[in-house]
Amino acid sequence: MFDAVPATSATRVHPALQPVVEFDADLIARLSRNGPRYTSYPTADRFTESFGYRDFLHAVADLRTRGGGKPLSLYLHIPFCDTVCYYCACNKIVTKNREKAATYLAYLKREVEMQGRLFAGMNEVEQLHFGGGTPTYLSDAQMEDLMAHLRRCFRFAPDAAGEYSIEIDPRTVSAERVHGLRRQGFNRISLGVQDFDPDVQRAVNRIQPEAETRAIIAAARDADFRSVSIDLIYGLPKQTPATMRTTLDKVIDAAPDRIAMYHYAHLPHLFKPQRRIDEADMPDSDTKLRMLQLCIERLTAAGYVYIGMDHFARPDDDLAIAQQQGRLHRNFQGYSTHADADLVACGVSAIGAVGATYSQNVKTLDAYYDALDRNELPVARGARLSMDDALRRTIIQKLMCQFELSISAIELAFPIAFHAYFAREMAQLAGLERDGLVELAPDWISVTLKGRLLIRNVCMVFDRYLATRGPATHSRTV
């Protein structure tokens, strides 16, 4: 429906080739505010129940009418966990009853089959991601069965061409299980670590010895996983710059390909498990900023490229290369190298993006099972993008992924005169330019090294829904 923005000039020096971000604590303290992470635009809090199952069917039909030549990205949500981590804000079900997972798997396979039939003839998958919860809550046999079912319902690109990833909790898998995941077709693995400090781990109810994590990383290397990622969190209870430095030293020594360094959003009024965290143990804002600065300095000094938001990658990693080549994309799983893929999502609460639409599944098991028992996909809400939505989504994507925007490229792709259409936004950007976040030229908007950490602030300028959103439920931008 909407044309892609043409590539920017090859003669221009791409910002991603400068693996530096400038930390300005005073600027961050002054400008940080609540705002979206822009894994989509419009953001998920703007989805409505007026978009349902039949609207999704129409979106797939539109895709087929237009040729359906793009590859697919599949997301599967496995909501179960053995234990609760107090910081967690994911849609999850904590249970020791494994029968619940068996029932869920039967329904999940039914949804996968329905989606496979819908996309028949245009269903080659180049990207697969298992998230949760803890996807490895499923047994090895259950995972084997599910992966075989996926291959019956969809065509998968060869291992060398596809990106097939799974999130794991190192406490719940063995080295043998890691090798089993590789045999089942996964070639990227992401480990939840959060922090190696024992006191921090106890404060968030996630005891995870370093040796245990290192053994799983070694197993992933031995099993020939193409990429190993580690997730960390700063701003957790009992964290200090000293404990964070120790954790970073251990992570750098483990040498993962990618590192995600998330800011903990303490929202106990929204997420019940967070109420178990002692408020007296929480680091203050100044301490959190010093920890963030330390993370950036240590990781860039160790050779990692700052991709954006909270992501770092080795210079030879696919993410860093995609950013240099202008192919980086952002979706509900974070940064991605598959910009042109339609995202098909299965499981409770999963969010997909097909054509010019977003759709989200129901959030409870009962509602999920009821919809599938009616032979309907469990779509609860979503959004159909207008031209204005698609235009703003493209702009936000470019800024989030490339830190710059070619105004002439936007005008070639959309029927607008940029400076007239975005007169209000350009006036706001002029204020951010005075703050040192962006540089404005007649044909370019460029995010400065200082502005990269506040990229969400820059993108919020182009979000027309913010003024009508009501009370903010988003995390701080830094």
Give 282-342 as a DSSP string: S--HHHHHHHHHHHHHHHHHTT-EEEETTEEE-TTSHHHHHHHTT--EEETTEEES-TT-E
**Residues 425, 461 contacting (CB under 8 angstroms):** yes
| Binding positions for [4Fe-4S] cluster | 81, 85, 88
Tell me if residue 192 falls in helix, strand or coil. Answer: strand
Tell me if residue 82 falls in helix, strand or coil. Answer: coil
Residue 352: CA count within 13 A, CB half-sphere: 33
Q: What tokens does 181 get?
A: 């995941």
Residues 209-241 as b/e (b if ≥16 CB within 10 A, e otherwise) read ebeebebbbebbeebebbbbbbbbbbbbbbbeb
Q: DSSP letter at 356?
A: T
**Residues 342, 72 contacting (CB under 8 angstroms):** yes
| Binding positions for S-adenosyl-L-methionine | 75, 87-89, 132-134, 167, 194, 206, 231, 265, 351
| Binding positions | 75, 81, 85, 87-89, 132-134, 167, 194, 206, 231, 265, 351
To 10 degrees, what angle do helices 140-153 and 98-118 make? 10
400: which residues sit within 8 A by CB, 6+ positions away?
38, 308, 309, 330, 455, 459
CA separation for the pair 315, 321 (Å, rounded): 7
Q: What tokens does 6 get?
A: 């043409």
- Nearest Cα neighbor of 149 from 113, 99, 186, 182 is 113
Measured in whole angstroms, the distance separating CA 413 from the mean position of its chain's CA atoms is 26
The sheet with strand 444-447 has its strands ordered as 404-406, 444-447, 438-441
- Could you tell me which residues are beta bridge partners of residue 190? 167, 229
